[in-house]
Chain A
Amino acid sequence: MAAELHDGPIQGLTRLGLSLERSQLRLRRGQLEEGRRLLTDAQAALSGEVQSLRRIMATLRPPVLEERGLVSALCDYVEVVRQEAGISCTLAARLPDRLPEDHEIVLYRVAQEALTNVARHARASSARVELTETAETVVLEVHDDGVGFDPAAEQQQGGLDHFGLAGMRERVELAGGTWTVWSRPGAGTVLTASLPKALVAA
């Protein structure tokens, strides 16, 4: 998410600010036509940035998550991965009831981040998302058959932050859950996030 904001709206809006300064400079110098042209371009660029922020907002909390719950939202996202990344991606969910809103957001974001990693880095041909529950916990697992990696080496090279793993773990632990990653070079990756059914006080 940070990278998406860095590469998208932050760059775009900063660029827009510079463009407005150029138009101001032109107008001050009496170059009215050029100043107006820059302002028109800036207006169009601003619309583009608003659209870009709307897209990011939709991925933060998609309307489907609010209206139809985690299973439907994951179902939609798995379909997006299937179509856009060309990966055979499936969802197996056994969850009779809606979860607390905070839990749904945490599990949705973890699944989304994990599948983004699969699409970008894993070179996998298939991925599987599983959502199950026990009496005490809800468990999300994301499996892929990609190239895998050595988690110990990753930890040594600069922590788990490289693939956004540290952020995922932090998100789950803040909600009172546990997060693990299993992977081996050539043997794929399994991410597991478990949350207690009872809400954890913030």
Chain B
Amino acid sequence: MTATGPAAPAPRVLLVDDNHGFRNELRLLLEDCGIEVVAEGENGQEAVELATRTDADVVLMDLRMPVMDGLQAARALRDRVPSLPVIILSAYEDPALKSEADAANAYAYLVKGCSGGLVLDTIEQAWASRSGRASPN
């Protein structure tokens, strides 16, 4: 894991997960590493609404959520904000779900339990891909 200084440019993240405790812990880790969480939501519908209202650079989103799941939200975001990279962070290590995420144009499919460092690196790479910056890795 690499810590980013507060003054350095850093991606702004929209964080979406229905588990409040997990979301809170992830936000604290991202903030400790200099990444700003611009908004939080607890279902896919909120993700779509917040993505169009905030200046997030990257969406980091759970898969299984009430109201609208992460795959439905990724498909909606692909249609409405195609330039916004979506990272799915799912509890399910399932190739079929990963294929669905790929079809929904998700930037990456990460499985919960992976290191925070991998989440941070993937956010940086997704941000770099969006802004045309060279990936730090």
A residues with CB within 8 A of B: 6-7, 10-15, 17-19, 21-22, 25-26, 29
Contact A15 B3, beta carbon cutoff 8 Å? no
Given the known A-B contacts A18-B116, A25-B3, are A6 and B64 also in contact in the complex, defined by CB atoms under 8 Å?
yes
Contact A11 B91, beta carbon cutoff 8 Å? yes
Q: Tell whether B113 is near chain A: CB-to-CB under 8 Å.
A: yes
The stretch from B26-34, B68-76, B96-104 touching chain A is: B26-34
Query: 10 more A-B contacts (CB under 8 A) besides A17-B115, A26-B32?
Result: A6-B92, A10-B112, A11-B22, A14-B22, A14-B112, A18-B22, A18-B29, A19-B25, A22-B25, A25-B3
CA A26 to CA B33, docked complex, whole Å: 11
Query: For chains A and B in complex, what number of residue pairs have CB atoms within 8 angstroms?
Result: 50
Given the known A-B contacts A10-B112, A10-B113, A17-B115, are A22 and B32 also in contact in the complex, defined by CB atoms under 8 Å?
yes
Kindly identify, within residues 10 to 51 of chain B, every residue whose CB is under 8 Å from any CB belonging to chain A: 19, 21-22, 25-26, 28-29, 32-33
Contact A11 B19, beta carbon cutoff 8 Å? yes
B31 CB, min distance to chain A CBs, angstroms: 10
- Interchain Cβ contacts under 8 Å between A and B, 28 examples: A6-B64, A6-B91, A6-B92, A7-B19, A10-B91, A10-B113, A11-B21, A11-B91, A12-B21, A13-B113, A14-B22, A14-B91, A14-B112, A15-B22, A15-B26, A17-B113, A18-B29, A18-B116, A19-B25, A21-B1, A21-B29, A21-B117, A22-B116, A25-B1, A25-B29, A25-B32, A25-B33, A29-B3
